[in-house]
A and B are shown apart, each in its own frame.
Chain A
Amino acid sequence: MNAATQAEITHYVEQVRSALADLPDQVRAELLEDLPEHLAEVLAEGDGTLVDRLGDPTEYAAELRTSAALDAPAEPVGLGRRAGVAWRATRDRLGRVDRRVGPVLGYATASEFLRSLRPGWWVLRGYLAAMLFTHLLFGGISSPLPTPGGSVPAGLLLLTVAVTGSVWLGRRGLRSTRRPRLVVTVATALALVGFASYFLFGLGSRSEGPHVVASNGGAAYLAPPLPSTAAPLDVYVYDSQGQLVEGARLFDENGEPILLGFPGWCDDTDRQPLRLEQVLTRLHGLNNVEYIYPLCPERDPFQLPALTPSPDAAPAPGPSAPSPSPS
């Protein structure tokens, strides 16, 4: 037997083995124990490759399984099998939740309740489509109605067409076959993702920097920016003599206050990031806080160590008393 024949046999046996991967190791080993020798006999008996003579290895494995009185695999083997098992487990779990939540809502199953909401969803889908269309063609969404080019009648017309179309698609989807339904589902999902990312992105870009919100009393109430690792906690101004300036206010060229730092950061004994609820608690009580710098004079980074000895403070890079030499 030459090396090529040996390789052909090994390859064929491996493919049969992988097709029987679901069998217990011992059963498979017993079944395949003599297969290389047997295939060598087969090759010695005539011309043609193993695949020509015996067919595809997976078919060979299936026939072997039958003749050895082993049941057919319950599932396709490998990744597909595991995915199938996971999918069925998830579906069963969802099914149980479905049946448990249903009675709470007054229905046999929760999915029955959701199905009854379907027309409402169709209308919402049409509305969202009209808004998306307006936004893509005419830019920003300024009102809860789509107003293409600022025209309310055109918006109403667009809304009517979109909602009618969406309901029509939905009713048709109930009767149609799998594939068109799939297309509609995918398109809807894409539109929803588009909307979600637009709003997230929009909100994200707006949340940078301080919000200035006008109150009915005429005085501005300043919502301070949330502290972050990159932004400074405080501002320290020094005069030409190196003295810390206290009680300073910062304004930009338009006279708008410049809000840097985070009032109340003094209270933090360490500089650990604040938890969300701490931040919210502070912001709630800080609506009328004025930004007067430094917000925390006690933490002047260049203060002389002799004046306020603090053993755990970082070495001050500023002017300091010469340390006594050990000699």
Chain B
Amino acid sequence: MDTTQLLKGVLDLAVLAVLQHEDGYGYDILRRLRTAGLTEVGDASVYGTLRRLFQAGLLTTYVVPSEEGPHRKYYSLNGAGRDQLTRSGKTWRSFATTMDNLLDDRGVAA
């Protein structure tokens, strides 16, 4: 199954999750997602998702000046973002459990 289709639905949640414990800038967030196993996620998807979550008021940003490279815009979860992460996390776990049970009941190999 094409994981890019699945990613569309859960990229918000994935981005919120990797920002839960540590703020990050765009490329850094992409790297975290790929390291976590979402290897097919694209830069534009992450950038677009960050822009949208920011517009929705779930993220705050701040700029960190850099000596050698360009300034970096860091994204940070705010209160609304943390609430959203909690809610979406529950929805996902419930959904994933349902799908697991469905596949288990019918003897589909893991």
Interface residues of A, Cβ cutoff 8 Å to B: 1, 30-31, 33-35, 37-38, 40-42, 44-45, 53-55, 59-61, 63-69
Given known A30-B51, A31-B51, A41-B27, contact A60–B44 (CB-CB < 8 A): yes
Q: Which residue of A lies closest to B42 (CB)?
A: A63
| Chain A interface, DSSP helix/strand/loop, else mixed | helix
Instruction: State the interface size on chain B (CB cutoff 8 A).
Output: 22
- CB-nearest residue of chain B to A63: B44
Instruction: Report if B104 contacts A (CB, 8 A).
Output: no
Q: Which 3 A-B pairs rank lowest in CB-CB distance, beginning with the nearest?
A: A67-B48, A63-B44, A40-B70
Interface residues of B (CB under 8 A from A): 8, 11, 25-27, 31, 42-49, 51-52, 55, 69-73
Q: From residue A33, how far is it (CB to closest CB) to chain B in Å? A: 8
On whether the beta carbons of B52 and A41 are closer than 8 Å, the reply is: no
A-B residue pairs in contact (CB < 8 Å), sample of 22 = A1-B70, A30-B55, A31-B48, A38-B26, A41-B26, A41-B27, A41-B70, A41-B72, A42-B26, A42-B27, A44-B69, A45-B31, A53-B43, A54-B42, A60-B43, A61-B44, A64-B44, A64-B48, A66-B8, A67-B45, A67-B47, A68-B48
Q: B45 touching A41 by the CB < 8 A rule? A: no
Chain B residues with CB under 8 A of A55: 42
Give the complex CA separation of A42 and B72 in angstroms: 10
Roughly how many angstroms separate A22 CA and B70 CA in the complex, as a whole number?
31
Additional A-B contacts beyond A37-B73, A69-B52 (8; CB < 8 A): A1-B69, A30-B55, A34-B26, A45-B27, A63-B45, A66-B8, A67-B45, A67-B52
Interface of B is mostly: helix
Q: Is the CB of B45 within 8 A of A66?
A: yes
> Smallest CB–CB gap between A125 and chain B, Å?
52
Q: Which residues of A contact B47 (CB under 8 A)?
A: 34-35, 38, 64, 67
Decide: A54 near B44, CB < 8 A? Known: A38-B26, A41-B26, A42-B27: yes
Contact of B43 among A34, A42, A69 (CB under 8 A): A42
Compute how far the CA of A60 lies from the CA of B11 in the bound complex, rounded to whole angstroms: 17
For the complex formed, measure the closest distance between the CB of B107 and the CB atoms of chain A, giving whole angstroms: 35
Chain A residue numbers with a CB within 8 Å of B71 are 37
Q: A30-B55, A60-B43, A63-B42 are in contact. Are A41 and B48 (CB under 8 A)?
A: no
Most central of B26, B44, B70 by chain A CB within 10 Å: B44
- A11–B69 alpha-carbon span in the complex (Å): 20
CB distance from B39 to the nearest CB of A (A): 15
Measured in the bound complex, the distance between the Cα atoms of B31 and A65 in whole Å is: 21
Q: Contact between A67 and B49 (Cβ–Cβ < 8 Å)? A: yes
CA distance A40 to B73 in the complex (A): 11
Contacts of A59 in B (CB 8 A): 44
A58 → chain B, closest Cβ, in Å? 11
Given contacts A45-B27, A68-B51, contact A37 B70 (CB under 8 A): yes
